[in-house]
A and B are shown apart, each in its own frame.
Chain A
Amino acid sequence: MTPDLHWLTAHAAADLLARREVSSRELTEAHLRRIEAVDPQVRAFITVTADRALADAEAADARLARGERGPLLGVPMALKDVLSTAGIATTCGSRMLEGFVPPYDATAVKALAAAGAVLLGKTNMDEFAMGSSTENSAFFPTRNPWDQTRVPGGSSGGSAAAVAAGEAIYALGSDTGGSIRQPAALCGVVGMKPTYGRVSRYGLVAFASSLDQIGPFARDVRDAAAVLDAICGHDPLDSTSAPQEGTSFGAALDGDAAGLRIGVPREYLPDSLDAGVRKAFEEALGVLAAQGAQIDFEVSLPSTEAALAVYYLIAPSEASANLARYDGVKYGYSYREGASMWENMEQTRERGFGAEVKRRIMLGTYALSAGYYDAYYLKAQKVRTVIRQEFEAAFASHDVLCAPVTPTPAFRIGEKTNDPYAMYLNDVFTLPVNIAGLPGISVPSGFVDGLPVGLQIIGKPFDESTVLRAAHAYEEAAGWRVRHPPL
């Protein structure tokens, strides 16, 4: 009997590896074959690192042979191409960093390597993580494994699609306004954004430094918890890394939602919500209620409507400062044919950045410029405080908040590329969580017209354990994870 190795969860794979019923090499080769078979359609990977994967697998097999065990030891995974990998090209989905090979590993990448991870490759993404569909990749769009005419979501669309398509057992992404949770929902996998400060951002190419956070994509909640266990913890190399040490998130998964106080903010169920998404969300709440959770619909976060404006002022402002480093002098693309230093810099940035990145740098530069700073940037920071306070008030009497992840299932490739604002509206339910720095998870919650949708569970700062416990209890009862896309 040969199980389909490419559909295993990490914990199932770890069990097989522990019993020596399969080697990391066999597991890795199965995934490399799967990538070869389906990635020409899905296009989840920018770079496949087959040699590195086989070397990692050999090292993991040696550790297993010495009796070492671990939940991620010998398990193949993928990394969003926003994470710095020593000796392996890191493009950030941009021409600006095409061919850039970093001299060091991100802290989260180091942590996974220490846990015995096998690196299959680097996944596609919207350029500099700016986008909600992976169509802003400078190289090619990724396709949704459930329907190849549709987007996988973004910006971590490659990581979500790789896990959904059986090309990697788990993956890392980054989430600035929903870039893990939204593609996880649209691809039917689990995706989690930890509390701001939980995971070191060292080696994560910066987009919006007060919002960015690294997190896992996985096939179930238990795997997401195991990956979080491995990558969480204080890092002196990131001054915004929280002094909390990592905890054992897996221990929180007792399958019990009884007594859980769930709040449903009414602003997350607008009249414009897709009917199928609403029905799937209500059914998910029914599953949790049947397990003894108390559902409270009398919750309001009144400033939710302003969150989109807060986000599209703060994130582009921070991006305009962070992306000033791409000047064609230190690394990356460099235009050198101009008549002056300034012309070279302007041409480097005109040619190296794609349309959405330039749009956001311009927007941020405008918001920070003389005469607009108080009205836009400072006002947005003050509304950010109000949004945080509203969440705090809601959490005074609730353990978690639940909401849909996205207003609709996956849309068609090309459907929103000509209307930036329509694209931004995709993240309306996820970006308030970044603004407030909270942990949030997307867990598969069924299908609308054959396309997956997700249940979002939002927690108090540093209370990932309760979020994971609720998500796990839902997942166990709902049973969606057994379905795979037709590839």
Chain B
Amino acid sequence: MPLTREEVLHIARLARIGLTEAEVEAYASQLSNIIDHFGTLTAVDTEGVEPTAHTLPLRNVMADDVPGPSLPQAAVLALAPQTEDGYLRVRAVLE
């Protein structure tokens, strides 16, 4: 079932990605083609099968609560496009 233009725009909005008109069209057809192939999954019987999120036998890895050195604030803020008084600066979220 091909994705509609509205669905593509909805996904793009959820992902916060702007799309050009040409991209909307291209992604609608390319994503539909890829999603069609996901039908192979239904051939595998997964009744009663637990999902695998990762392959290690690890659960809830805890670290001791010991303070240690971290990256210098100045070095990290120097990477940001806009800062002010030791903070990251962004446009108003609520307008």
Q: Which A residues are within 8 Å of any B CB, using their own CB?
A: 100-101, 103-104, 196-197, 209-210, 236, 239-240, 242, 303, 305-306, 308-310, 312-313, 320, 324, 327-332, 334, 336, 338, 340-347, 349-350, 353, 355, 358-359, 361-363, 365-366, 369, 376, 378-386, 388, 420-421, 424, 436-437, 461
Contacts and interface: CB of A to CB of B under 8 A. Distances in A.
A330 B71 contact: no
Interface in B9-30: 11-12, 14-20, 23, 26-27, 30
A436 B35 CA distance: 22
A313 B33 CA distance: 14
A353 B17 contact: yes
B45 to A, nearest CB: 8
Interface string B20-56: 1001001100110111011111111010011111111
A363 B16 contact: no
A196 B54 contact: yes
B93 A383 contact: no
Given A340-B95, A341-B92, A341-B93, A362 B55 contact: no
A-B residue pairs, 10 tightest by C-beta: A437-B55, A381-B51, A350-B18, A334-B81, A331-B79, A382-B46, A346-B18, A341-B91, A210-B54, A239-B61
A240 B44 contact: no
Contacts of B23: 355, 358
A359 B31 contact: yes
Given A369-B11, A382-B50, A437-B56, A313 B17 contact: no
Contact of B91 (A340, A353, A362): A340
Contact of B55 (A100, A320, A359, A388): A388
Contacts of B42: 379
Contact of B51 (A334, A346, A384): A384
A378 B18 contact: no
Contact of B34 (A310, A363, A384): A363
Residue with the greatest number of chain A CB neighbours at <10 A, chosen from B56, B80, B90? B56
Given A100-B79, A196-B54, A210-B54, A309 B17 contact: no
Contacts of B50: 382, 385
Contacts of B80: 329-331
Contact of A306 (B43, B82, B91, B93): B43
Contacts of B8: 362
Nearest to A353: B17
Given A347-B18, A461-B55, A362 B46 contact: no
Contact of A365 (B15, B30, B52, B58): B15
Contacts of B90: 329, 341
A345 B63 CA distance: 34
Contacts of A305: 40, 43
Given A197-B55, A366-B11, 20 more contacts: A103-B72, A103-B75, A210-B55, A242-B56, A305-B43, A306-B44, A309-B37, A309-B39, A328-B81, A329-B90, A331-B79, A349-B15, A349-B18, A366-B31, A380-B41, A381-B53, A383-B41, A421-B37, A437-B55, A437-B56
Contacts of B49: 382, 385-386
A433 B46 CA distance: 20
Contacts of B93: 341
A330 B79 contact: yes
A242 B58 CA distance: 8
B86 to A, nearest CB: 14
Residue with the greatest number of chain A CB neighbours at <10 A, chosen from B51, B71, B95? B51
A25 to B, nearest CB: 31
Residue with the greatest number of chain A CB neighbours at <10 A, chosen from B18, B58, B72? B18
Contacts of A197: 55-56, 58
A327 B31 CA distance: 24
Contact of A362 (B17, B44, B75, B79): B17
A461 to B, nearest CB: 7
Contacts of B56: 196-197, 240, 242, 437
Nearest to B48: A382
Contacts of A330: 79-80, 88
Nearest to B50: A385
Given A196-B56, A381-B53, A349 B16 contact: yes
Contact of B16 (A312, A336, A346, A424): A346
Nearest to A379: B41
A437 B90 CA distance: 40
A386 B44 CA distance: 8
B46 A383 contact: yes
Contact of B14 (A313, A347, A365, A384): A365
Given A305-B43, A341-B91, A362 B27 contact: yes
B71 to A, nearest CB: 5
